[in-house]
Structure 1
Amino acid sequence: MPLDNYGVWKAHPISYEVERRGTRTPHLTLYFRDNGGPDYRAAINIKSGDQQESRLVYWVNEDMSGHPLVGGLSKLKTGFERLDDKEPERGGLRLDYIRGNLFDVNTGRVLEHDITGPNNDIIDVLVPKVQQAINEGAVVYIFGERFDTNNGIHNVHMNQGNIRRYSGDDGVFQDGALLFHFPETHKWVGIFLAFASQAVHTSENGGHAISRVTWKDLLPGDLVENSVAIHKAVVGPFGQGEDKKQSVILANLTNRKISLVRWRIRNSRWEQEVLPRNAALGAKATEVIGVPNCPLSTDGDTITLLDRDGLKVAGVSYNSQQGNAANGEIDFAG
Structure 2
Amino acid sequence: MPLDNYGVWKAHPKRYYVERRGTRTPHLTLYFRNNGGPEFHAAINIKSGDQQESRLVYWVNEDMSGHPLVRGLSELETGFTRLDDQEPEPGGLRLDYIRGNLFNVNTGRVLEHDITGPNNDIIDVLVPKVEQAINEGAVVYIFGEQFNTNDGIHNVHMNQGNIPRYSGDDGVFQDGALLFHFPEADKWVGIFLAFASQAVHTSENDGHAISRVTWKDLLPGDLVENSVAIHKAVVDSFGQEEDKKQSVTLANLTNRKISLARWRIRNSRWAQQVLPRNAALGAKATKVFKVPNCPLSSDGDTITLLDRDGLKVAGVSYNSQQVNAETGEIDFAG
Alignment partner of 1:142 is 2:142: yes
| Conserved? CA contact 2:100–2:302, under 8 Å | yes
CA contact (8 A) 2:244 2:290 kept: no
Question: Which has the larger displacement, 293-302 or 12-21?
Answer: 293-302
Match of 1:128 in 2: 128
Is contact 2:157–2:193 with CA below 8 Å preserved after alignment?
A: yes
Residue 52 of structure 1 corresponds to which residue in structure 2?
A: 52
Where does residue 332 of structure 1 map in the other structure? Answer: 332
Alpha-carbon distance in 2 for matches of 1:326, 1:150 = 51
8 Å CA contact 1:161, 1:209 repeated in 2: yes
Question: How much does 1:254 deviate?
Answer: 1.0
The answer (yes or no) to whether the contact 2:243–2:291 under 8 Å persists in 1 is: no
Aligned to 1:105: 105
Counterpart amino acid of residue 209 in structure 1: A
2:4 is the counterpart of 1:26 = no
Match of 1:114 in 2: 114
93-102 vs 293-302, greater mean Cα deviation: 293-302
Q: How do residues 184-199 of structure 1 correspond to structure 2 at under 5 angstroms?
A: 184-199=184-199
- Cα shift readout 1:69-108 (whole Å, capped 9, x = no counterpart): 0000111111111100011344311000000000000000
Shift of 1:238: 6.9
> Considering only aligned residues, what root-mean-square deviation do their CA atoms show, in Å?
1.4
> What is the aligned residue count?
334
**Alignment TM-score, normalising by the size of structure 2:** 0.97
* Cα distance in 1 between the residues matched to 2:214 and 2:243: 41
How far did 1:239 drift? 4.9
> Which residue type is aligned with residue 140 of structure 2?
V
Residue ranges of structure 1 left out of the alignment (5+ in a row): none
Q: What is the deviation of 1:12?
A: 0.6
Distance in 2 of aligned mates of 1:289 and 1:188? 32
Q: Percent same amino acid at aligned positions?
A: 89
Partners of 2:20 and 2:44 in 1: how far apart?
A: 13
Q: For the Cα contact (< 8 Å) 2:162–2:208, is it kept in 1?
A: yes
Q: Which residue of 2 aligns with 1:154?
A: 154
Moved more, 18-27 or 37-46: 18-27
Unaligned runs of 5+ in 2: none
Deviations 1:250-292 (A, max 9, x none): 0111111111111110111111111111111111110000001
SS of structure 2 residue aligned to 1:131: helix
Kept in 2: contact 1:72–1:91 (CA 8 A): no
Q: Give yes or no for the alignment of 1:74 onto 2:70.
A: no
Counterpart contact for 1:56–1:112, Cα < 8 Å: yes
2:3 alignment partner in structure 1: 3
Distance in 2 (alpha carbons) for counterparts of 1:124 and 1:273: 42
Alignment of 1:191-230 (within 5 A): 191-230=191-230
Asked whether the 8 Å contact 1:238–1:244 carries over to 2, the reply is no
Q: Secondary structure at the match of 2:165?
A: helix
Judged with a 3 Å threshold, the aligned counterparts in structure 2 of structure 1 residues 89 and 203 are, in CA distance, closer, same or farther, namely: closer
SS in 1 for 2:57: strand
How many angstroms apart in 2 are the aligned matches of 1:271 and 1:91? 12
> 2: distance between equivalents of 1:58 and 1:212?
20
| 8 A Cα contact 1:232 1:332, kept in partner | yes
